């Protein structure tokens, strides 16, 4: 290629990179606009920590009095909160009221009760609609900027490892930029995205140490970036054993090479950096995690148990949950929103799984191919170590403490995963055709990520659509029962679907608000047999959790739909009935029910029409 042609290609790649960065920043901004406030992992606690730093101009004490959410965050390393405070201190920091928790929010399983952890006062799924805080918006935008920096570092990593394949580096950068989970976590207030920036930088300098002739400089920069990551989030500690594994692998590689002297000097530099990183880790753990009240949160206790009482550590592992935890880690890597309880359509994970399997097989083919030189194998092995060790540690930690590992703990390995995904594809489709396939995958990822806010996030937090009064005549079964003149159950519809273990009853309730309510009443829905036995039940705030009664305005008329799984063996589906109760949780105070003429009925409204069976 001529110098002129090379320059043109270089400009084209630069323009493409700029476009990818701009598109990621735009997507992050859009996600931050669509996601309601506090509907991300511990966002309220993260926000409180930043606000405390700005107001008090110091780090809050771990042992000083605070609310539960804030205590959880105070055991976190402080760097992200300091950066957020410095970057947004010029923005007016409003005093936000403690958010109201949805008592029946669903972390997993039946999402009909609401994926929203908080009750949003506006009742609208628009950006931070229930909060006038410009500071929250500013911190979210800071997260989007940090995510964009991480994407740029992903390109640097790809260009370093595959300098002769710019299309591969760009495609992997685009995959990183448009992975929906990565975009989402870069659009809300959390320290995961801060750890990702410094973690990717640490991986980059670790790679520089491996593939270039830099010795002490790259090792020192790795140490610096690791230290910043460790001061941002404890999950960055996984980089320490990763660096050690890379050093040991490099040692094995050096023994088969002639330039042993060079490698000895290189290894000495990295070993010194690892030792310094280990000491820094111990200091950070002592300062921030050692005072945690819960043993599950104390990394110091965890490490002590692992090395001093290995038998107890192994016996205490929840081994039966391993398949479940590994599956959760995999799907949350691709598309996970809210509190890890909001998913994309199933087909998206199936396609991602097919891509991952084909890429994995392609990477194996690359490693086994006689055309792959030793340096190429070393770079692929490096990426595998960067992914496998943190993932294994995340799963082991989760097996010990007993909760599923979310992929946000491994956000800094996203660029390495993207590189292997793209590299594996090019083992099956080579040359320009392979570049076109990679470009198509990158474009597809962008459109998928762009479709998530309007098609997945916004509908999940949307209140029920209001009905016109003229639509009351179309209610299948008119009831008119009143709950202490606060709410009216205008009517309902019941349908039985499925058979055996898959049997369920779908209930449509038509509500009308009669008077304002200050409290959030819970709804109890039970499916009963003809003899009155409870076959299935659920509890929720109305509107599938998105329209709590404190949001109701007199005259609101809407329908509320639920499907309840039932034990249908030996039961005639045509004889089933349902009952509805409104009560205050946890006191149990129940609204009394009366019929349309005002005659008291009791505590429940009975829905006793014959069910229409829908197969």
Contacts of 604 (CB under 8 A, 6+ apart): 579, 580, 581, 593
Give the pLDDT score at 417.
Answer: 97
Is the pLDDT score of 480 beyond 50? yes
Q: Grade residue 355 by pLDDT with cuts at 50, 70 and 90.
A: very high
Residue 168 is given by DSSP the state H
Mean predicted confidence (pLDDT) in 566-582: 79
Give the pLDDT score at 582.
Answer: 96
Give the pLDDT score at 257.
Answer: 57
Contact (Cβ atoms closer than 8 angstroms) between residue 260 and residue 254: yes
Contact (Cβ atoms closer than 8 angstroms) between residue 514 and residue 487: yes
Helix and strand tally (H, E) in the chain?
Answer: 19, 15
Give the pLDDT score at 585.
Answer: 92
CA dihedral 419, 384, 236, 137 (to 10 degrees): 20
Give the pLDDT score at 4.
Answer: 47
Handedness of CA 300, 303, 306, 309 (dihedral sign): negative
Is the pLDDT score of 609 beyond 90? no
Give the pLDDT score at 1.
Answer: 44
Give the pLDDT score at 22.
Answer: 97
Contact (Cβ atoms closer than 8 angstroms) between residue 363 and residue 380: yes
* C-alpha atoms less than 13 angstroms from C-alpha of 455 in its C-beta half-sphere: 11
Residue 555 is given by DSSP the state T
Give the pLDDT score at 483.
Answer: 96
| All structural domains of the chain with their residue ranges | 3-91+135-458, 469-613
d(CA 132, CA 124): 14
d(CA 289, CA 304): 13
Give the pLDDT score at 90.
Answer: 81
Rounded alpha-carbon distances, angstroms, from residue 83 to 10, 41, 228: 34, 19, 11
Give the pLDDT score at 170.
Answer: 95
Mean predicted confidence (pLDDT) in 385-413: 90
Q: What is the DSSP string of 34-96?
A: HSPTT-STTHHHHHHHHHHHHHHSSPPPTTS---HHHHHHHTS-SHHHHHHHHHHTTS----P
Mean predicted confidence (pLDDT) in 471-486: 91
* Alpha helices per DSSP H over 369-428: 374-401, 414-426
Is the pLDDT score of 287 beyond 80? no
- Give percent of the chain with pLDDT exceeding 70: 84
As a whole number, the mean pLDDT across the chain is: 85
- Give percent of the chain with pLDDT exceeding 90: 52
Q: Which residues of 257-292 are buried (b: 16+ CB within 10 A; e: fewer)?
A: eeeeeebeebbebbeebbeebeebbeebbeebbeeb
Closest CA to 605 of 478, 452, 469: 478
Give the pLDDT score at 61.
Answer: 67
Mean predicted confidence (pLDDT) in 576-597: 92
Give the pLDDT score at 570.
Answer: 64
Q: Tokens in use for 321?
A: 């949950």
What secondary structure, in 3-state letters, does 319-384 show? HHHHHHHHHHHHHHHHCEECCCCEECCHHHHHHHHHHHHHHHHHHHHHHHCCCCCHHHHHHHHHHH
Give the pLDDT score at 566.
Answer: 84
Q: Is 152 left (phi over 0), alpha (psi -120 to 50) or beta?
A: alpha
β-bridge pairing 504-513 and 521-528: unpaired
Distance of CA 397 to the CA centre of its chain: 18
Q: Grade residue 328 by pLDDT with cuts at 50, 70 and 90.
A: very high
- When the candidates are 3.90.550.10, 1.10.3720.10, 2.60.40.10, 1.10.357.10, the CATH number that belongs to 469-613 is 2.60.40.10
Give the pLDDT score at 74.
Answer: 66
Rounded alpha-carbon distances, angstroms, from residue 267 to 160, 206, 249, 274, 578: 20, 12, 11, 10, 71
Give the pLDDT score at 120.
Answer: 84
Structure confidence by residue, pLDDT tens digits, 521-541: 999 999 988 888 888 899 999
Q: Tokens in use for 104?
A: 């029946």
Mean predicted confidence (pLDDT) in 432-453: 94
- Does residue 391 have a cis peptide bond before it, meaning omega lies within 30 degrees of 0? no
Phi, psi values for residue 407, rounded to 5°: -65, -10
Structure confidence by residue, pLDDT tens digits, 89-139: 887 766 666 788 898 988 765 677 888 999 987 544 444 544 446 788 889
Q: Grade residue 168 by pLDDT with cuts at 50, 70 and 90.
A: very high
Closest CA to 439 of 4, 6, 19, 2: 19
99 or 35, greater pLDDT:
35
Give the SS3 label for residue 439: helix
Is the pLDDT score of 296 beyond 50? no
Q: Grade residue 591 by pLDDT with cuts at 50, 70 and 90.
A: very high
Contact (Cβ atoms closer than 8 angstroms) between residue 431 and residue 204: no
Is the pLDDT score of 560 beyond 80? yes
354 or 295, greater pLDDT:
354
d(CA 335, CA 449): 9
Q: Grade residue 503 by pLDDT with cuts at 50, 70 and 90.
A: confident
Contact (Cβ atoms closer than 8 angstroms) between residue 32 and residue 40: no
- Residue located via tokens 């805080």: 133
β-bridge pairing 612-613 and 487-497: parallel
Give the pLDDT score at 157.
Answer: 96
Structure confidence by residue, pLDDT tens digits, 41-77: 989 889 988 888 888 888 876 555 455 555 556 678 8
Structure confidence by residue, pLDDT tens digits, 217-264: 888 999 999 999 999 998 899 999 999 998 888 877 766 655 555 667
């Amino acid at each position: 290629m001529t110098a002129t042609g090379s320059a043109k290609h270089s400009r084209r790649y630069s323009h493409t990179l700029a476009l990818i960065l701009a598109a990621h920043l735009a997507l992050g901004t859009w996600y931050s606009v669509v996601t309601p406030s506090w509907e991300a992992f511990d966002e309220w606690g993260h926000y409180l920590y930043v606000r405390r730093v700005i107001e008090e101009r110091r780090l809050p004490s771990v042992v000083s009095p605070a609310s539960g959410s804030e205590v959880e965050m105070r055991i976190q390393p402080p760097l992200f909160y300091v950066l957020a405070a410095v970057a947004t201190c010029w923005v007016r920091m409003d005093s936000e009221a403690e958010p109201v928790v949805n008592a029946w929010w669903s972390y997993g399983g039946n999402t009909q009760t609401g994926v929203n952890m908080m009750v949003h006062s506006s009742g609208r799924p628009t950006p931070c609609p229930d909060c006038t805080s410009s500071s929250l918006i500013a911190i979210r935008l800071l997260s989007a900027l940090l995510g964009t920096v991480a994407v740029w570092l992903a390109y640097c990593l790809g260009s370093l490892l595959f300098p002769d394949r710019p299309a591969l580096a760009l495609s992997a950068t685009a995959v990183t930029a448009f992975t929906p989970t990565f975009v989402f976590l870069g659009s809300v207030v959390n320290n995961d995205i801060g750890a990702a920036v410094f973690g990717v930088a640490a991986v980059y300098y670790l790679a520089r140490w491996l593939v270039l002739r830099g010795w002490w400089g790259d090792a020192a920069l790795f140490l610096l970036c690791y230290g910043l990551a460790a001061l941002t989030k404890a999950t960055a500690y996984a980089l320490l054993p990763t660096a050690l594994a890379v050093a040991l692998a490099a040692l094995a590689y050096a023994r088969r090479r002639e330039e042993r002297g060079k490698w000895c000097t290189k290894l000495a530099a990295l070993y010194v950096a690892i030792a310094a990183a280990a000491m820094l880790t111990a200091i950070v753990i002592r300062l921030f995690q050692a005072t945690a009240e819960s043993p599950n949160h104390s990394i110091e206790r965890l490490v002590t148990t692992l090395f001093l009482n290995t038998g107890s550590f192994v016996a205490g592992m929840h081994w039966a949950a391993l398949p479940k935890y590994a599956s959760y880690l995999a799907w949350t890597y691709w598309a996970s929103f809210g509190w890890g309880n909001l998913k994309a359509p199933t087909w998206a994970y199936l396609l991602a799984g097919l891509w991952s399997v084909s890429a994995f097989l392609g990477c194996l083919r690359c490693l086994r191919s006689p055309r792959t030189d030793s340096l190429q194998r070393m770079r692929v092995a490096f990426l595998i170590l960067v992914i496998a060790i943190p993932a294994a540690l995340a799963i082991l930690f989760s097996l010990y403490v007993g909760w599923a590992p979310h992929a946000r703990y491994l956000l800094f390995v996203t660029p390495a995963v993207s590189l292997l995904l793209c590299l594996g594809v090019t083992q099956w489709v080579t040359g320009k055709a392979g570049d076109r396939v990679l470009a198509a995958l990158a474009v597809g990822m962008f459109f998928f990520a762009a479709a998530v806010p309007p098609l997945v996030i916004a509908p999940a937090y949307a209140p029920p659509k209001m009905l016109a009064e003229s639509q009351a005549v179309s209610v299948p079964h008119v009831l008119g029962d009143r709950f202490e003149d606060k709410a009216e159950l205008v009517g309902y519809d019941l349908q039985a679907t499925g058979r055996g273990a898959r049997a369920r009853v779908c209930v449509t309730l038509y509500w009308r608000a009669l008077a304002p309510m200050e409290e959030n009443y819970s709804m109890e829905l039970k499916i009963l047999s003809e003899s009155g036995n409870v076959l299935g039940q659920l509890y929720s705030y109305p509107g599938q959790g998105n329209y709590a009664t404190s949001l109701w305005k007199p005259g609101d008329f809407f329908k509320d739909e639920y499907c309840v799984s039932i034990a249908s063996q030996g039961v005639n589906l045509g004889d089933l009935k349902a009952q509805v109760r409104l009560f205050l949780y946890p006191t149990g105070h129940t609204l009394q029910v009366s019929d349309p003429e005002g005659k008291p009925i009791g505590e429940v409204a009975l829905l006793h029409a014959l069910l229409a069976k829908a197969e």
